[in-house]
């Protein structure tokens, strides 16, 4: 699909989100301004299934997240990730250490959050937690790709608004490979979502409307400081759905559709989040 169609799709997302306010975060890539409650721990397991173009083998990229609310203004998170790609092999693809810092305590019309992440990942990484720079994923055997590790520093400016029951979030991404002289790579993600219901009814109900949140997100790469072009960049648009199965657990799904020839044809993301009860907290 041409870049023109991608731009039309992205404008449609932004236009629909003008009336947006967020309550829940069904996104897989886009971040909003809501942080983890201080002292809370969340454990999440998720998987990205990718269907590439050009007859490359489909793959699964599972990952584990452990998130901790260090303070009201600071959430920290550890990621462990892997990959399996049929006859191309499987293996561990790296770890990431993420921190998000909320700049203002109170709610504003536009809420900024700063994001810093250190990554130690290899070329076999497939979770596509963010997309930056340009070029398609490499599809050599996994064992060969796992030999090439890189230390990377990633920063994001997260802007998020809550408007009339909707959330509108925009993320600008900057990533620097500390192991190679590759300049700075750029990327983006935008999302809009809302709960299907209003306030909780006060009765036990697992499939009530207020337990579901829906939305859409778009994300992709924007070249680099050395390659100031959008050619060969990857872009996706993805509807998202979150089901709050219980007060402590959430199931999320998101099919993503590649919008350029460099993108995978499809991605399917599934995740399950569980908040651990902190019995020692007063």
Greater confidence, 176 or 15?
176
Q: Is the residue at 229 inside a domain?
A: yes
Average pLDDT over residues 170-197: 94
Write down the pTM of the prediction: 0.87
Greater confidence, 186 or 198?
186
Residue 8 is given by DSSP the state H
Q: Is the residue at 162 inside a domain?
A: yes
Per-residue pLDDT of 95-148, as tens digits, reads 999 999 999 989 999 999 999 999 999 999 999 999 999 999 999 999 999 999
Q: Is the residue at 281 inside a domain?
A: no
Taking alpha carbons only, the member of 155, 156, 71, 166 closest to residue 109 is 166
Query: Considering its fold, how many domains does the chain have in total?
Result: 1
Taking alpha carbons only, the member of 233, 237, 244 closest to residue 271 is 244
Residue 47 in this model has a pLDDT that exceeds 80: yes
Q: Is the residue at 279 inside a domain?
A: no
Q: Is the residue at 278 inside a domain?
A: no
The CATH number linked to 262 is: 2.40.160.40
Q: Is the residue at 280 inside a domain?
A: no
Q: Is the residue at 282 inside a domain?
A: no
Bridge partners of 153, per DSSP, are 118, 176
User: What residue numbers bound the domain in which 265 lies?
Assistant: 3-273
Per-residue pLDDT of 9-22, as tens digits, reads 444 444 443 333 33
Half-sphere exposure of residue 215, counting CA atoms within 13 Å on the CB side?
35
Q: Is the residue at 205 inside a domain?
A: yes
Q: Which residues, in sequence order, are CB contacts of 258 under 8 Å at separation 6+?
A: 1, 53, 234, 235, 236, 264, 265, 266, 267
């Amino acid at each position: 699909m041409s870049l023109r169609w991608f731009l039309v799709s992205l404008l449609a997302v932004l236009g629909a989100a003008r009336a947006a306010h967020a309550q829940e975060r069904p996104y897989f890539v886009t971040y909003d301004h809501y942080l983890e409650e201080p002292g809370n721990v969340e454990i999440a397991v998720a998987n990205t299934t990718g269907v590439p173009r050009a007859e490359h083998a489909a793959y699964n990229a599972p990952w584990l997240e452990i998130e901790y609310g260090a303070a009201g203004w600071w959430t920290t998170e550890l990621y462990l990730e892997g990959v399996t790609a049929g006859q191309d092999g499987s293996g561990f693809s790296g770890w990431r250490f993420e921190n998000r810092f909320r700049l203002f305590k109170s709610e504003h019309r536009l809420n900024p959050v700063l994001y810093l992440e250190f990554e130690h990942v290899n070329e076999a990484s497939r979770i596509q937690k963010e997309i930056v720079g340009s070029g398609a994923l490499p599809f050599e055997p996994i064992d060969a790709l796992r030999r090439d590790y890189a230390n990377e520093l990633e920063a994001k400016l997260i802007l998020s608004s809550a408007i009339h029951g909707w959330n509108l979030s925009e993320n600008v991404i900057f990533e620097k490979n500390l192991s190679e002289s590759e300049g700075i790579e750029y990327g983006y993600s935008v999302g809009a979502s809302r709960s299907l219901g209003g306030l909780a009814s006060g009765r036990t109900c697992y499939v009530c409307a207020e337990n579901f949140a829906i939305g859409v997100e778009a994300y992709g790469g924007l070249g680099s400081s050395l390659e100031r072009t959008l050619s060969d960049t990857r872009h996706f648009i993805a509807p998202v759905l979150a089901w709050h199965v219980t007060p402590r657990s959430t199931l999320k799904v998101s099919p993503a559709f590649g919008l350029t020839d460099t993108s995978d044809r499809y991605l399917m993301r599934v995740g399950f989040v569980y908040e651990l009860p902190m019995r020692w907290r007063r």
